[in-house]
Amino acid sequence: MILKKATVLIVDDDPDVLTAVKLLLKTETQEIITEKNPENLNWLLQRNQVDLVLLDMNFNSAINTGNEGIYWLRKIKEWKPDVCVIMITAYGDIDLAVRSLKEGANDFVVKPWHNEKLIDTIKDLLDKKEGGGKPTKASAKGDTGTSILGDSEVMEDIFHKVNKIAPTDANILILGENGTGKDLMAKAIHERSLRADKPFIKVDVGALTDSLFESELFGHKKGAYTDAREDRMGRFEEAEGGTLFLDEIGNISLQQQAKLLTVLQNRQVTRLGTNKAVDVNIRLICATNVPLTELANENKFRKDLIYRINTVEINMPPLRKRAEDIVILAKHFAKLYSSKYLKPTMEFEPASLQKLRSYNYPGNVRELQYTIERAVIMADEHILRADDLIFSILETPGESMIDEDNIQLSTLEKNAILRVIEKHNGNITRAAKELGLTRTALYRRLSKYDI
């Protein structure tokens, strides 16, 4: 539906908000209806052909303190299921706003909003309503830029979620196996945030020893310890105004967790060697390959820190759970590395695409990326054939893969070798090439498994 033909109802008990939105949309829509009292919602919906409702999350009523918006959202969906609803929320109510999406809201905006962004959001929802409500593949890709691709349903859900939370300052915890793209997702969130023009600082905190942890994150003064030859700003201060991405957060010690929690609670850092606290203004994104249920074990990780870093969580799915995206990603990497290595753009023969689809990628997207890069480098033609795609059998399977198939790594390796040798009719040279091994390494494995 064209916005110019739409009727929009705004429900908020703040007259300033009603006035601001009415002035903004006055020339954009056919009709604007404003209402301070949500008790009049049913009457307004019955009397008018409303296409979209802008609904505040909180009202000065005693219905469900802190949940008034959810209550009235349910009522709207009960009375007029087809009406689009955008929730208006403050930063402190981000959790409720995210919950509202599960309750049937189409979107939410955070006060103070950008006028152009609000108009675009309304237009987008009305267009989707007119087209049957399903977002296009192109828009799903566009939600997080070009670095993360996917048309699968699970990725579309993630893109939609990211589109909602990126403009906020909510702390985000990204979960997922190694190689699923957690760092790319963190970068994409930063680029879509209101802090995009500020620094994006990444720290692999899992690799920091206790002695380096404070110095790296909080900084130090000259002479604070033996090798502190000059004043140094920590990563929190470097990220001022921007985003701090703490990777492998699940691997830090309880002592490090306590220090990090103190900084996050106070929003201040104190450099080693000084007692002067410095205020910091950062948006925090964390990532880990440790499952949330395991992370919640207080013998390993503090629950109060989990709550602090996990306003919203994003679960990056393993590639085997988003098989529809394998070919899209493979073609993207082929184009990328063809350009990098000054080769004609590589195409895939049908057999190579089938081979890509049939593999379950224990190393996830990263393994696919390296497989395509190696194939582009080694290929003699502009066509990538099945034999050019060499997967590493040394990639350690994820726990879920072992649990599902109930096999050991040695059994997996032996069976893989047998299949490849049989495929090449006993030709060791060709088998070794496909397995990514030297002939000598393959002979060692043949001896190891008595093949």
- Tell me the pLDDT tens digit for each residue of 207-258: 888 778 988 899 878 876 767 678 888 899 999 999 999 999 999 999 999 9
What's CA 158's distance to the chain center, in Å? 6
Residues of the chain with CATH 3.40.50.300: 153-315
pLDDT at position 53, please?
A: 94
Q: Calculate mean pLDDT across residues 348-366.
A: 92
User: Which CATH code, of 3.40.50.150, 3.40.50.300, 3.40.430.10, 3.30.70.1710, is assigned to 153-315?
Assistant: 3.40.50.300
Greatest mean pLDDT among 109-113, 133-137, 141-145, 252-256? 252-256
User: Quick one: tokens of 57?
Assistant: 């999350």
Q: pLDDT-based confidence at 433, cuts 50/70/90? A: confident
Instruction: Please write the tens of the pLDDT for every residue from 142-164.
Output: 333 335 788 888 898 898 888 88
Reported for 408-416, long-range contacts at CB under 8 A and 24+ positions apart, including other chains, are: 410/449, 413/445, 413/449, 414/449, 414/451
pLDDT of 129 strictly over 80: no
- Residue 121: which residues within 8 A CB-CB, separation 6 or more? 86, 107, 109
pLDDT in tens, 83-104: 999 988 875 566 677 777 778 8
Is pLDDT above 90 for 121? no
DSSP structural state of residue 345: P
Strands 312-315 and 172-175: parallel
Q: What is the pLDDT of residues 171-208, one digit of tens each?
A: 999 999 999 999 999 999 999 898 998 999 999 998 88
Q: What is the pLDDT of residues 304-341, one digit of tens each?
A: 999 999 999 999 999 999 999 999 999 999 999 998 88
| Model pLDDT, residue 408 | 55
How big is the CA angle at 388 (ends 384 and 392), to the nearest 5 degrees?
Answer: 135
What pLDDT was estimated at residue 409?
60
> Which architecture does CATH list for 320-448?
Orthogonal Bundle (1.10)
- Residue 185: CB atoms within 10 A of its CB come to 23
Residue 66 pLDDT grade (very low, low, confident, very high; cuts 50, 70, 90): low
CB atoms within 10 A of CB 67: 17
Nearest residue to 309 via CA among 265, 360, 354: 265
Cα→Cα distances 387→104, 138, 378, Å: 49, 32, 11
Query: Percentage of the chain surpassing pLDDT 90?
Result: 39
Between 91 and 52, residue with greater pLDDT: 52
**pLDDT digits 0-9 by tens, 263-275:** 999 999 998 888 8
The two tokens of residue 354 are 């089938």
| 44-58, 110-124, 153-167, 424-438: segment of lowest average pLDDT | 424-438
Average pLDDT over residues 60-74: 69
pLDDT the model gives residue 422: 79
Contacts with 332 (C-beta within 8 Å, 6 or more apart), sequence order: 149
- List, by residue range, all CATH 1.10.8.60 domains of the chain: 320-448
Q: Where in the chain is the domain with CATH 3.40.50.2300?
A: 3-134
Percent of the chain with pLDDT over 70: 88
pLDDT per position as a tens digit, 369-419: 999 999 999 988 889 999 999 987 655 444 434 334 434 566 777 778 888
- CATH no., domain 3-134: 3.40.50.2300
Average pLDDT, the chain: 83
Place of tokens 């890709």: 141
- pLDDT beyond 50 at 36: yes
